[in-house]
């Protein structure tokens, strides 16, 4: 499968909408996850208070991130962990490659990690002749299929059971079966062997506690336990925004994250890792490395509006709640992070000129803001990015696509801010629409009109447009309403 | 809206100089234009000594409440924005929360349902207000719409930038409306009504779209 680009979001979305299998898969997402989340949230007495607490902790951390990062590093190093700093994805991949080569590993086991997706670690490992094995079931399926995750929590959400069964027939060589136990049993058998052989395990991180140098990773399958516990070397890749100040803060986030993400009160496993083993006879890796990743994050930190993007705890609730995501799925975004939070983070990570359509891929309905456990105002961020794009088009009026829109908004700005021109505009439209109005409405616009006024064509391809009223409010006001005031 | 407000003993004036709040520009990223609209709005309404500025749109009202964001470095305009925002109310909210009226003496007929327009619901927090008003319209039967609080897919320029996605979202809304088996779908924003009504009209549905002001004004 070819990987889609953010620059072609509109086309990607149109293709996705024509895919009935994808549509079926996405429907179950909305039905299951949205409902499960709602039930899980209602099991907490003061959800709103909890969200506010979480956001306050994140705000405080981000405001003094330098201080908390250094405290985290100091405490992690005291426990025997080696900490590495990576400015960008390229540096991070280089660090991981050196460590894997140093451990003389030709194969590594990996647990699910969006940070490693973000830096395209698997490609980097493969091109260096190292085989990465994804051990999260969904990620493993995606890897078998040669695809990328379409959701940050449920990476294979776009695949149906039947598609997965076919994939197992093709790639693993078992007989076709609809029995989920057989499918998962097959994956378990294959992956167990890999765990036993691997010299290096690579994971992500959900939270890094500054006070103790602890990292916390959440999961349901037990594969993270094995990835971080069995191989001699454990490498954790961690965005610098994952820091929280105190161990006790976990109380807040552990109540929020599983409920928001999968609708669980708690995930099946929580791995808390504080330093390397104390005695050489103990189980666990001999070496733990944490790679701290910036990759554009300090840029987001600089501005008070964009800073809140870094409060995200990657729960995926905004994806599940988003009407746009529910329609097109994750791949259409053409980015590592899809959905509302992806539309906000991606332009900031890869540059706004490479993801110009994403901030517009929202009706600004605000469902994302409503479910966000850390109260990120995603619509505000989308508007902030849209303003950056519009200002960019002002600076470069040569860009064809944005030019028409810019002229339209200038015209609107000039005409509608003048009452006389506004009235004139209404009357002129009423006159001109006579050509196209039938039975008080504008039906499907002809090709000519669609060409002259593209937005009208886009509108009427699916919807009739209302005609301008025979008498405007102003005319009614002057005619009768004004004098009727009994007061 | 004028008729309803007068019925509940409000004096209504209308300044003909007013035009648009500028939300289309703000939501598409054209802040300079939006600022121009905001200043104009503020200047015109500052001249009025009316107790309240009432708008039949959650979307426009929400924009007025966002005016201050257009002046991040201008203390004076921020203050003026906030003063105007404090006086501005969405129609249903003004009736129920300010005037404490939830029965405006309206009467109509048929089965009706309500679609929550996103800005009224999530920016202004209006959920019960319109429902209370509608349940008191004599002669009608109010039914709750499935997923009433999910977007209709309009989203301003979104509806023409990505018409296919917009229509996909809209179709879920239409499906819910058909399931509800109603005579009319009522909402508080003309933009949602244009989106929903445009599709209903295209598929030849008999369900009417009505602004809440229309049904509250009706006395059959």
- The CATH superfamily assigned to A44-299 is NagB/RpiA/CoA transferase-like (3.40.50.10420)
Average pLDDT over residues B3-15: 95
Look at the block and give the residue holding tokens 């294959």.
Answer: A190
Contact yes or no for A55/A311 (Cβ under 8 A): yes
User: How many Cα atoms within 13 Å fall on the side-chain side of residue B144?
Assistant: 7
| Ranges of CATH 3.40.50.10420 domains, chain A | 44-299
Q: Determine how β-strand A437-438 pairs with β-strand B107-115.
A: unpaired
Contact yes or no for B58/B84 (Cβ under 8 A): no
Report pLDDT for A401. 63
Report pLDDT for A418. 86
Of A119, A74, A77, A73, nearest to A95 by C-alpha is A119
Of B98, B93, B150, nearest to B124 by C-alpha is B93
Whether A327 contacts chain B with CB within 8 A: yes
Burial class (CB in 10 A: 0-12, 13-18, 19+), A124: buried
Residues 52-111 of A with CB under 8 A from B: none
Q: Where are the domains of chain B?
A: 2-96, 102-217
Q: Determine how β-strand B138-143 pairs with β-strand B107-115.
A: parallel
- Torsion-angle region of B175 (φ positive above 0: left; ψ -120 to 50: alpha; else: beta): alpha
Q: What is the DSSP letter of B122?
A: I
Contact A383 B26 (CB under 8 A): yes
3-state SS track over B173-220: HHHHHHHHCCCEEEECCHHHHHHHHHHHHHCCCCCEEEEHHHHHHCEC
In A363-416, where does DSSP find H-type helix?
Answer: 367-371, 378-395, 400-415
**In chain B, which residues have their Cβ closer than 8 Å to the Cβ of A454?**
160
**In chain B, which residues have their Cβ closer than 8 Å to the Cβ of A386?**
27-29
Q: How close B15 gets to chain A, by Cα (Å)? A: 10
Average pLDDT of every residue of chain B? 96
Contact B165 A361 (CB under 8 A): yes
Contact yes or no for B21/B59 (Cβ under 8 A): no
B94 Cβ partners below 8 Å, 6+ apart?
B52, B54
Q: pLDDT category, B33, cuts 50, 70, 90?
A: very high
Report pLDDT for A482. 76
User: CA-CA distances (angstroms) from residue A356 to A353, A393, B30, B98, B164?
Assistant: 5, 11, 15, 43, 18
Contact B195 A463 (CB under 8 A): yes
Burial class (CB in 10 A: 0-12, 13-18, 19+), B109: middle
Could you report the average pLDDT of every consecutive run of 10 residues in chain A (487 residues)? 84 94 85 90 96 98 97 98 98 98 98 97 97 97 95 93 94 93 95 97 98 97 96 98 98 97 95 93 94 96 93 97 96 96 95 94 97 98 94 66 80 85 84 80 78 84 87 86 63
Report pLDDT for A193. 96
A contact test, residue of B19, B29, B199 with most A CBs within 10 A? B29
C-alpha A216/C-alpha A206 separation (Å) is 6
Of A140, A375, A136, A157, nearest to A268 by C-alpha is A136
C-alpha B116/C-alpha B145 separation (Å) is 10
Three-state DSSP at B106 gives coil
Minimal Cβ distance to B30: which of A390, A477, A481: A390
In tens, the pLDDT along B123-159 reads 999 999 999 999 999 999 999 999 999 999 999 999 9
C-alpha A151/C-alpha A129 separation (Å) is 28
- How many CB atoms are closer than 10 A to CB A380? 17
Minimal Cβ distance to A13: which of B17, B119, B164: B164
Whether A328 contacts chain B with CB within 8 A: yes
H/E segment holding residue A80: none
Average pLDDT over residues B9-21: 94
B99 Cβ partners below 8 Å, 6+ apart?
B8, B10
Q: Which residues of A66-94 are buried (b: 16+ CB within 10 A; e: fewer)?
A: eebbebbbebbeeeebebbebeebebbbe
CATH number for the B102-217 domain, one of 3.40.1620, 3.40.50, 1.10.760, 3.30.465?
A: 3.40.50
C-alpha A71/C-alpha A212 separation (Å) is 8
Contact A413 B37 (CB under 8 A): yes
Average pLDDT over residues B40-54: 97
For helices B31-46 and B75-87, angle between their N-to-C axes, nearest 10 degrees = 60
C-alpha A417/C-alpha B22 separation (Å) is 9
The nearest alpha carbon in chain B to A464 belongs to: B198
C-alpha A131/C-alpha A152 separation (Å) is 23
Contact A363 B158 (CB under 8 A): yes
B contact test, residue of A463, A465, A484 with most B CBs within 10 A? A463
pTM of the model: 0.94
Look at the block and give the residue holding tokens 């107790």.
Answer: B51
C-alpha B135/C-alpha A102 separation (Å) is 72
> What one-character-per-residue DSSP string does A132-201 give?
EEE-SHHHHHHHHHT---SSSSSTTTT--HHHHHHHHHHHT-PPP---HHHHHHHHHHHHHHHHHH-SEE
Contact B29 A363 (CB under 8 A): no
In A286-439, where does DSSP find H-type helix?
Answer: 297-302, 317-321, 323-328, 339-350, 367-371, 378-395, 400-415, 419-432
Minimal Cβ distance to B164: which of A17, A466, A487: A17
Report pLDDT for A298. 94
C-alpha A322/C-alpha B101 separation (Å) is 35
- Torsion-angle region of B103 (φ positive above 0: left; ψ -120 to 50: alpha; else: beta): beta
Contact yes or no for A360/B158 (Cβ under 8 A): yes
**In chain A, which residues have their Cβ closer than 8 Å to the Cβ of B189?**
none
CA angle, residues A280, A284, A287, in degrees to nearest 5: 80
Structure tokens at A185: 């049993």
**In chain A, which residues have their Cβ closer than 8 Å to the Cβ of B40?**
417
The nearest alpha carbon in chain A to B168 belongs to: A327
Contact yes or no for A217/A204 (Cβ under 8 A): yes
Report pLDDT for A397. 61
Start-to-end Cα distance in chain A = 70
Listed in order, strand segments (DSSP E) in chain B are 53-55, 88-90, 107-115, 138-143, 184-187, 208-211
Burial class (CB in 10 A: 0-12, 13-18, 19+), A104: exposed
């Amino acid at each position: 499968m070819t990987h889609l680009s953010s620059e072609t979001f509109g086309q990607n979305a149109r293709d996705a909408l024509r895919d009935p299998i994808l549509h079926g898969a996405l429907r179950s997402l909305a039905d299951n996850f949205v409902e499960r989340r709602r039930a899980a949230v209602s099991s907490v007495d003061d959800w709103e208070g909890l969200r506010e607490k979480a956001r306050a902790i994140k705000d405080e951390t981000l405001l003094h991130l330098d201080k908390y990062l250094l405290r985290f590093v100091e405490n992690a190093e005291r426990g025997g962990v080696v900490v590495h700093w990576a400015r960008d994805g390229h540096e991070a991949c280089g660090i991981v490659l050196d460590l894997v080569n140093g451990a003389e590993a030709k194969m590594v086991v990996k647990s699910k990690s969006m940070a490693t997706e973000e830096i395209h670690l698997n490609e980097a490992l493969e091109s260096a002749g190292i085989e990465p094995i994804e051990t999260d079931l969904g990620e493993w399926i995606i890897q078998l299929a040669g695809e990328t995750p379409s959701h940050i929590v449920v990476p294979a959400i776009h695949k149906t059971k039947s598609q997965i069964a076919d994939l197992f027939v093709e790639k693993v060589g078992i007989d076709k079966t609809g029995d989920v136990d057989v499918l998962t049993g097959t994956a378990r058998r294959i992956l167990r062997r890999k765990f036993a052989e691997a010299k290096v395990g690579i994971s992500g991180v959900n939270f890094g506690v500054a006070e103790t140098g602890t990292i916390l990773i959440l999961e349901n399958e037990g594969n993270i336990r094995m990835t971080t516990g069995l191989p001699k070397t454990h490498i954790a890749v961690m965005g610098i925004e994952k820091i929280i100040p105190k161990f006790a803060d976990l109380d807040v986030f552990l109540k929020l994250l599983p409920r928001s993400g999968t609708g669980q009160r708690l995930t099946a496993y929580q791995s808390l890792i504080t330093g390397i083993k104390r005695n050489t006879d103990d189980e666990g890796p001999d070496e733990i490395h944490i790679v701290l990743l910036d990759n554009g994050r300090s840029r987001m930190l600089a501005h008070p509006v964009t800073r809140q993007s870094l409060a995200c705890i990657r729960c995926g609730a905004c994806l599940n709640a988003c009407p746009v995501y529910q329609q097109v799925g994750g791949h259409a975004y053409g980015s590592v992070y899809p959905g509302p939070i992806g539309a906000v983070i991606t332009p900031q990570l890869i540059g706004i000129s490479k993801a110009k359509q994403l901030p517009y891929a929202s009706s600004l309905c605000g469902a994302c803001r409503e479910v966000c456990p850390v109260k990120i105002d995603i619509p505000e961020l989308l508007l902030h990015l849209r303003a950056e794009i519009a200002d960019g088009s002002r600076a470069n009026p040569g860009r064809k696509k944005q030019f028409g829109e810019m002229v339209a908004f200038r015209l609107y700005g000039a005409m509608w801010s003048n009452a006389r021109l506004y009235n004139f505009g209404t009357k002129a439209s009423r006159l001109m629409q006579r050509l196209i109005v039938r039975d008080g409405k504008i039906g499907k616009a002809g090709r000519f009109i669609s060409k002259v006024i593209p937005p009208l064509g886009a509108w009427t391809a699916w919807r009739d447009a209302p005609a301008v009223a025979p008498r405007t409010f102003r005319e009614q006001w002057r005619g009768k309403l004004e004098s009727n005031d009994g007061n | 809206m004028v008729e309803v407000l007068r019925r509940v003993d409000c004096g209504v004036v209308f300044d003909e100089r007013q035009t648009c709040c500028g939300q289309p520009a703000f939501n598409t990223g054209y802040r300079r234009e939006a600022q121009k609209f905001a200043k104009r709005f503020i200047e015109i309404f500052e001249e009025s000594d009316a107790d309240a500025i009432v708008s039949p749109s959650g979307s426009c009202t929400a924009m007025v409440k966002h005016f201050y964001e257009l002046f991040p470095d201008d203390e004076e305009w921020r203050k003026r924005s906030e003063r105007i925002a404090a006086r501005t109310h969405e129609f249903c909210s003004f009736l129920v929360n300010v005037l404490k009226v939830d029965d405006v003496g309206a009467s109509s007929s048929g089965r009706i349902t309500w679609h929550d327009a996103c800005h009224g619901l999530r920016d202004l927090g209006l959920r019960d207000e319109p429902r209370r008003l509608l349940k008191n319209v004599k002669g009608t039967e109010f039914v709750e719409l499935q997923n009433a609080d999910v977007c209709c897919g309009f989203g301003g320029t979104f509806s023409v930038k990505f018409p296919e996605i917009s229509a996909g979202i809209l179709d879920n809304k239409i499906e819910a409306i058909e399931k509800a088996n109603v005579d009319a779908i009522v909402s508080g924003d003309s933009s949602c009504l244009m989106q929903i009504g445009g599709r209903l009209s295209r598929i030849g549905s008999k369900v009417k779209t009505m602004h809440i002001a229309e049904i509250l004004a009706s006395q059959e």
